[in-house]
Structure 1
Amino acid sequence: MSKGPLPAGKGAACLTCKGICPGFQPHSWRKACVKCQCSQDEHAFISNNEDDLKAMLYMSLLPEERRPVAGTEGSLYRHKQLTRQLPAYDHDPAYCHSLSEAELKVMAQFVKSYKEESLGVGEVALPGEKSTTKRNEKISQEQPDPPLTEQTPDGAIESPVSNETEYYCSGCGQLAAMDEPVVYADRAGYERLWHPACFVCGECGEALVDLIYFWKEGALLCGRHYCQSIRPRCLGCDELIFSDMLLQEASGHVWHKEHFCCWLCGQDIRVECGCDKRQTT
């Protein structure tokens, strides 16, 4: 059996309670604070990740309130989106609560499959750059020495002639300015491109943090919504369920069987426990 560590960040301030919560105190298996009951991603943990050059360029093209500059609202937004869109327990069993050997195998295959088939990182370039590069690569494979330039009647060498192609955003459908960077997603094909502000999850509509996307059936998704479109997610602990030991309500909400319980005392929610405020999440 695997049993991951408690959530990191003990004592971190709650961004929702703003001074009311004394600091993050992790529940033994819920991704939440036992003091204020706000989720783990509502607390101001400090990320050690640094944006690479692509992410920095992408950031500069985002709305100002979404730019992750240290000490700004945008920085807090990026932190929250990282933990929300890409929870560690969706891909690393060390962060999961008590997986059996069978569940570990199912999870490993699940992660291997999406890494091979769906996961990608957006690429920032000017409109047409990526599609032209791919087209030239194909030509070079078919013709070892393709002409890369054109000659004028007097023999002078000129740069390749532009074909005046127009490029449209796959998100909003609007024309992409030729002098402004766009985002490409390799798994979608280089005939598609997005304005930076349109490179969002097709389910939640949030900007895809650090350009990390999952491609499924013609749509961009964040990690969270891709994973839970394949595997059920427990409403109690927020982890994906890799076994048949689950409980589903008519509403569609799903739990590990042992997590369908009162937030306060842990009693099965189907049994009266006497708590003044019964909660399952």
Structure 2
Amino acid sequence: MSQLPNHKVPRLGTAGEKYRERNLVHQLPAQDLALTHCRHVAGEHQRAFRDFIEARNDIALDVGFVRELNHSSECRKCQRVIRHGELAVIAPRFGDVTWHPACFVCHTCDQLLVDLTYCVYDEEIYCERHYAQQLKPRCAACDELIFSGEYTKAMNKDWHSGHFSCWQCDESLTGQRYVLRDDHPYCIKCYENVFANTCDECNRLIGIDSKDLSYKEKHWHEACFLCNKCRMSLVDKQFGSKAENIYCGPCYDAQFATRCDGCGEIFRAGTKKMEYKTRQWHEKCFACCVCQTPIGTKSFIPREQEIYCTGCYEEKFATRCIKCDKIITTGGVTYKQQPWHRECFTCTNCNTSLAGQRFTSRDEKPYCADCFGELFAKRCTACTRPITGIGGTRFISFEDRHWHNDCFICATCSNSLVGKGFITDASDILCPDCAKQRLM
């Protein structure tokens, strides 16, 4: 037993015990051993049954035994060596041939031969069941050997003539048409009653001799698959459905088809449709309104009721620089409600970029602070530098002369005269006190 797989060792209360019991029933079926266990061997065939049993027992059936080898030998199944002193199975009908205990299996089912019981056929070992099936057909229904000359072959199996019957009503199918469903045979009547669909048009069953045409869980006879309006056959034709009814292409289009927002024609059944929001087009009509190039799956830009490809949209609507007239794609500047590229928005005099810089304008043209001061600003009478006013710089004017606030000081004491009285003396400005001293 130690030579066998553990789950096949028949110890009490183990899986091995159940394995042996299953093999015992399967490999040595009672109906193959004695007539008393058979229910379907007719009287005229009982002699043939007994002769078969006697011949099997005389020339094929035997029981093997286990012994310790006194010499090395080769296992007949796996061809590996069974060494001197190891256990081996001997089958007397094969002479001195040996097997490992785990290799002594049926040639057909490859299961251990229960209790070492075997049969020989054509130089191979079989369990009793599969030995019998080398010589006699076995009924797939009752599992008995068939000794009559007539029997039914169906579904790649053998059957007593009366045992090949409908799975539903148990009526014999021998010589009758039948239908297989889930590996079970059904007579025509039962199959149609149980499995056949009902025609949505005429409400009769769709038998096995009729084509069953289906669409969305509905079924029709081939002759009933008709347009709901004009009654034309829809077999092998395009059709549409609406409110659980089916229609031929022309009828469906006439009643239900939507129209293309491009050409105004209807969408016929089966036509590819391009949709955007609430609008829809034929594939060829979904095109740029300027260049007429089909959009397909490319990017597009809608504007009011028109569709534009990106190139035409930019050409027609994109913001352009007031200076170079090229499209502004990123980082533009707006000046006096007009767009500029950042690099185009420069001082009119020195061409320095004004983007992000302080600037002012003259005659609608922009200037940087330095250029504006040099070109147009008043000059301080005291320091001669431009008075630009940019950033809030304050200045004082008097008789066509101008001063920065910081430069408007007494020529003698240098005190600020902003907001105070002052006296002019030629080109100088003086506070009252200094003016008195100068005049005295």
TM-score, normalization by structure 1: 0.61
Give the structure 1 partner of residue 108 of structure 2.
203
Provide the C-alpha distance between the structure 1 equivalents of 2:172 and 2:161, rounded to a whole number of angstroms. Answer: 9
Could you give the per-residue CA deviations for residues 104-163 of structure 1, whole angstroms, max 9, x where no partner exists? 1000000000100000101111124xxxxxxxxxxxxxxxxxxxxxxxxxxxxxxxxxxx
Whether 1:100 and 2:62 are equivalent positions in the alignment is: no
1:235 Cα offset (Å): 0.8
Provide the C-alpha distance between the structure 2 equivalents of 1:121 and 1:172, rounded to a whole number of angstroms. Answer: 21
Give the structure 2 partner of residue 125 of structure 1.
67
- Tell me, what secondary structure is at the counterpart of 1:226? helix
Give the structure 2 partner of residue 218 of structure 1.
123
Could you give the per-residue CA deviations for residues 30-70 of structure 1, whole angstroms, max 9, x where no partner exists? xxxxxxxxxxxxxxxxxxxxxxxxxxxxx342110001111
- Give the alignment partner of residue 165 of structure 2, picking from 219, 240, 261: 261
Correspondence 1:1-281 to 2 at 5 A: 59-128=1-70, 165-190=71-96, 192-249=97-154, 252-269=156-173, 270=178, 271-274=187-190, 276=194
Please tell me the residue identity of whatever aligns with 2:146.
I
Gaps of 5+ in 1: 1-58, 129-164
Provide the C-alpha distance between the structure 2 equivalents of 1:97 and 1:245, rounded to a whole number of angstroms. Answer: 17
RMSD of the alignment, in Å?
1.6
Please tell me the residue identity of whatever aligns with 2:51.
Q
Please tell me the residue identity of whatever aligns with 2:37.
Y
1:177 Cα offset (Å): 2.4
Provide the C-alpha distance between the structure 2 equivalents of 1:255 and 1:106, rounded to a whole number of angstroms. Answer: 18
Please tell me the residue identity of whatever aligns with 1:62.
L
Could you give the per-residue CA deviations for residues 188-220 of structure 1, whole angstroms, max 9, x where no partner exists? 112x10000000001111110100000111111
Please tell me the residue identity of whatever aligns with 1:265.
C
Provide the C-alpha distance between the structure 1 equivalents of 2:156 and 2:123, rounded to a whole number of angstroms. Answer: 25
- Tell me, what secondary structure is at the counterpart of 2:162? helix
Provide the C-alpha distance between the structure 1 equivalents of 2:130 and 2:163, rounded to a whole number of angstroms. Answer: 21
Please tell me the residue identity of whatever aligns with 1:255.
W
- Retained in 1: the 8 A contact 2:40–2:144? no
The number of residue pairs the alignment matches comes to 181
Provide the C-alpha distance between the structure 1 equivalents of 2:40 and 2:166, rounded to a whole number of angstroms. Answer: 20
- Tell me, what secondary structure is at the counterpart of 1:116? helix
- Retained in 1: the 8 A contact 2:169–2:190? no
Q: Could you say if the C-alpha distance between residues 263 and 96 of structure 1 is closer, same or farther in structure 2, counting changes exceeding 3 Å? A: farther
Provide the C-alpha distance between the structure 2 equivalents of 1:248 and 1:87, rounded to a whole number of angstroms. Answer: 22
1:264 Cα offset (Å): 4.0
- Tell me, what secondary structure is at the counterpart of 1:78? helix
Higher strand content, 1 or 2 = 2
Provide the C-alpha distance between the structure 1 equivalents of 2:167 and 2:14, rounded to a whole number of angstroms. Answer: 34
Please tell me the residue identity of whatever aligns with 1:180.
E
1:166 Cα offset (Å): 2.6
- Tell me, what secondary structure is at the counterpart of 1:220? strand
- Retained in 2: the 8 A contact 1:213–1:223? yes
Identity %: 36
Provide the C-alpha distance between the structure 1 equivalents of 2:168 and 2:14, rounded to a whole number of angstroms. Answer: 35
Provide the C-alpha distance between the structure 2 equivalents of 1:62 and 1:194, rounded to a whole number of angstroms. Answer: 12
Please tell me the residue identity of whatever aligns with 2:115.
D
Gaps of 5+ in 2: 179-186, 196-440
Provide the C-alpha distance between the structure 2 equivalents of 1:64 and 1:78, rounded to a whole number of angstroms. Answer: 12
1:231 Cα offset (Å): 0.4
Provide the C-alpha distance between the structure 1 equivalents of 2:189 and 2:142, rounded to a whole number of angstroms. Answer: 20
- Tell me, what secondary structure is at the counterpart of 1:259? coil
1:273 Cα offset (Å): 4.2
> Larger relative contact order (C-alpha < 8 A, sep ≥ 6)?
1
- Retained in 2: the 8 A contact 1:267–1:273? no
